[in-house]
């Protein structure tokens, strides 16, 4: 099964407890597309967090923290509807030592990606929230 948006390879990850309540879908896992950064809910959670740096060196090397950032990417895609949730997840990522605005800058600059969302625009919108 590939990404529903671009057909690319996906990375499956468990949704961290700390941010699960902020996702519109309450399934235990999700997948992140390694090409377009599309996030889909998934039923089967892998036992361990994957290495998100396989998607981009811009993502945190700590798997659980990477998963928090992936959840943020899911919410940024629908930021208008999920403002408060995105703000809460961004705050959780920052609490774990992630500079989320810098991560978005670096993802936008990563030539290995073809993001389906306008990262520069979402970054500006997020900057106004946090
Ligand atoms: Zn994709």
Q: pTM (2 decimals)?
A: 0.95
In a domain, 83, yes or no: yes
pLDDT at 96: 97
Q: What is the pLDDT of residue 79?
A: 83
Q: If we measure between CA atoms, which residue out of 107, 106, 100, 96 comes closest to residue 125? A: 100
User: What are the 10-residue block averages of pLDDT along the chain, 130 residues in total?
Assistant: 93 96 91 97 94 97 98 91 93 97 97 96 90
Q: How many domains does the chain have?
A: 1
pLDDT at residue 38, as a whole number: 96
What is the 37 CA–ligand 1 centroid distance (Å)? Answer: 6
| 5 domain residue, yes or no | no
Range of the domain at 63: 10-129
- The answer to whether position 1 is within a domain reads no
Within-domain flag for 43: yes
Q: How far is the CA of 111 from the centre of ligand 1 (A)?
A: 15
* 4 located within any domain: no
Asked if residue 97 is part of any domain, the answer here is yes
* Cα 3 to ligand 1 centre (Å): 5
Give the pLDDT score at 1.
66
Residue 3 domain-assigned (yes or no): no
* Beta-carbon count within 10 A of 7 CB: 12
Predicted pLDDT at 129: 83
d(CA 119, CA 68): 17
H helices of 25-117, where?
63-76, 83-95, 100-108
- H/E stretch holding 31: strand 29-33
């Amino acid at each position: 099964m590939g990404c529903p948006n671009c057909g690319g390879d996906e990375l499956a990850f468990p949704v961290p407890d700390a941010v699960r309540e902020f996702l519109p879908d309450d399934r235990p896992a999700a997948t992140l597309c390694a090409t377009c950064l599309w996030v889909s809910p998934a039923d089967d959670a892998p036992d361990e967090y994957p290495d998100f740096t396989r998607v981009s060196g811009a993502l945190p090397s700590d798997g659980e923290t990477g998963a928090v950032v992936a959840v943020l990417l899911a919410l940024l895609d629908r930021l208008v509807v999920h403002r408060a949730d995105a703000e809460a997840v961004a705050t959780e990522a920052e609490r774990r030592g992630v500079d989320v605005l810098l991560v978005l800058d670096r993802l936008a600059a990563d030539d290995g990606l073809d993001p389906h969302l306008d990262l520069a625009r979402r970054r500006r919108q997020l900057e106004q929230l946090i």
